[in-house]
Amino acid sequence: MRWHSLLPVALGVVLAGCAGGESRPLPRTGTTSRIQENGFGASGRSVRTLVYVLRHDMAEATEDDDRFARELAAAAPGTRVITLTQPIRGGSDPATAASRGFTRDRITHFADRIEAGRTRYPDVPTVLVGDGGGAAIAADLAGLRPKLIDGMVLAACPCMLPEWRKHMEKRMPGTSFQAAADSLDPLMTVGGIRPQTKAALLVGADDPITPPKFSRGYAEALALRGIATDYRVLPGRGNAILNDPEVLSATTRMLAALQADR
């Protein structure tokens, strides 16, 4: 295990080593396809924590995509886990996803769904789990709509978007990852995150798509905000880490901590 210490300012950043689904699509809007929503775990008055899983931009929801949600619902009784997927039309092209995936309009679509959940369950902690592009959206959302969430777990995050785009252009010569005019970089929105928000970032040491430096830079920015941040590099792991046990463990720890704070 590779551990990292982030100690800017006065903050010591903390480092840390099933029910059936229900589908509910929303109307197609803008440059994106419908949001696919699947629910797992607790419901009604038994809900004590609420988790939204924001998934990769480029794939329709599949049973395997729901594995993390099912396992989290089983590991954290009393948790309602909702997966949100909104594929980008033309998103099989990673450059298209990179340009359209992080716009204010798209982030608002996700935020509105999460606000609806908070209205239904007003007195329970809410956590976002983001994977890849979903992690960058979760980070932006935490800055733009800070009252909606109490914590976020970001897996394989391209959390420094301009630098990540340059990285991808080097990996894919001749491909332009030009940003949309209203694209939002998590480092632009980090100032809006509430200091009491809890954060965890996990990234594979051998991730060729979103190398650790893009998570570390964002973790440092969170720390400078006074936000308790759990940053972990997973040895031998690549880009696909959502279903890694370490991500599940980081999420259950956060849920337990939020419950203890209540």
Q: Give me the residue spans of the domains in the chain.
A: 22-261
Average pLDDT, the chain: 83
User: For helices 104-120 and 133-144, what crossing angle results, to 10°?
Assistant: 70
| 78-133 pLDDT per residue, tens | 999 999 987 765 555 666 666 567 888 889 999 999 999 999 999 899 999 999 99
Burial class (CB in 10 A: 0-12, 13-18, 19+), 253: middle
pTM: 0.85
Mean pLDDT by 10 residues, the chain (262 residues): 38 35 39 75 95 72 76 97 79 60 87 94 95 94 96 96 91 80 89 97 97 97 95 96 97 95 82
Confidence (pLDDT) at 88: 66
Q: State whether CATH 3.40.50.150 applies to domain 22-261.
A: no
Among residues 31, 53, 27, 29, which one has the least CA distance to residue 182? 31
Confidence (pLDDT) at 93: 60
Confidence (pLDDT) at 15: 33
Q: Are 68 and 242 in contact (CB under 8 A)?
A: yes
